[in-house]
Amino acid sequence: MHSNKITLKQDLTAYAFILPTFLGFLLFMVYPLFNSLYLSFMDWNMFLGREGSEFVGLEHFREAFENEYFKAGMINNFKLAVMAVPLLIALSLFLAVLLNQDIFGRGILRTMYFMPYVATITAAAVVFSAVFHYQWGPVNNFLRGIGIANPPGWTASIKWALPTIALFWVWKNIGYCVVIFLAGLQGISNTYYEAATIDGANKVQQFWHITMPLVSPTTFFLTITNIILSFQIFAEVNVMTKGGPGTATYTTVFHIFDQAFDKFNLGYASAVSWLFFLVIVVITIIQWLGQHKWVKYV
């Protein structure tokens, strides 16, 4: 009996510690999630509340498929994912392999690559925009100095604005991916490389036939998470381009923000959010089902 009381007391203590976080989860995650689903079926008046709103069914979802800004945002999201994620994964793996070697200044280099990730997006985006300013930026001044008369317009150019956002996103997130890849690389036993060296395999062959397969679970994890993150790009666009020039960098999340907080069209914004969520879920499921073809779990 005494033992049961002690166990009950320990359980209640544990639940007491969990309760604040659980309540926060319900209040800030679960409630907004289901409330947004409710709003997606409503023509919601945020000033009058429920009394000034009406049920419209699937009208907002139909409107989204006809909205040119929604279409532009989705197209730009796919372009960003295609441009940025493969580049981020490839560069991160290359740098991780390099920093996993016993080279001079390895600790300093690891810190330097991780610094952009811990910086706030707003501060980093302002600095990046200044560096890549089409008229006064040091990058274009350097390009003019080596004889390129008409350097790219970067964020001021319809052609270059989206690649510039992608480049910034890669630079901002590469430190995190390098750290994760380093963890994966350090989990590979040296015996594989020693055996391959005895068999006459060079460094390139060891990378393709040992490193790549054994680090594939880490690559799979980073691919899924970074595709999701690339679809959620907002702050970068909001600070650097405001979706312009035109709709060159207009993303779906920026469209949701614009409709919800600039135009107060909460019902439509909620519907777009759920459509966007379903797109990400489908993409993630496709990747998950296809992992058996290239991911090797040891």
Specify the pLDDT at position 216: 95
Specify the pLDDT at position 2: 59
What mean pLDDT is predicted for residues 290-298? Answer: 85
Question: How far apart are alpha carbons 285 and 247 in whole angstroms?
Answer: 29
What mean pLDDT is predicted for residues 108-113? Answer: 85
What backbone torsions phi and psi does residue 128 show, to the nearest 5 degrees?
-60, -40
158-178 CB burial, b ≥16 within 10 A, e <16:
eebbbbbbbbbbbbbbbbbbb
> Each residue of 21-79: pLDDT tens digit?
999 999 999 999 999 999 999 998 877 777 778 899 999 999 999 999 999 999 999 99
| Burial grade of 186 (CB within 10 A; 0-12, 13-18, 19 or more) | exposed
Question: How far apart are alpha carbons 170 and 98 in whole angstroms?
Answer: 18
> Each residue of 198-250: pLDDT tens digit?
989 999 999 999 999 999 999 999 999 999 999 999 999 999 999 999 999 99
- Stated pTM of the model: 0.90
**Is the model's pLDDT at 3 over the cut of 70?**
no
**Is the model's pLDDT at 160 over the cut of 90?**
yes
Distances 278 to 68, 226, 229 between C-alpha atoms, Å: 19, 17, 15
Question: How far apart are alpha carbons 203 and 101 in whole angstroms?
Answer: 12
**Is the model's pLDDT at 188 over the cut of 80?**
yes
What mean pLDDT is predicted for residues 134-139? Answer: 92
Domains observed in the chain: 2-55 (no CATH), 62-293 (1.10.3720.10)
Secondary structure E strands in the chain:
42-45, 49-55
Question: How far apart are alpha carbons 87 and 168 in whole angstroms?
Answer: 12
> Each residue of 239-291: pLDDT tens digit?
999 999 999 999 999 999 999 999 999 999 999 999 999 999 999 999 999 98
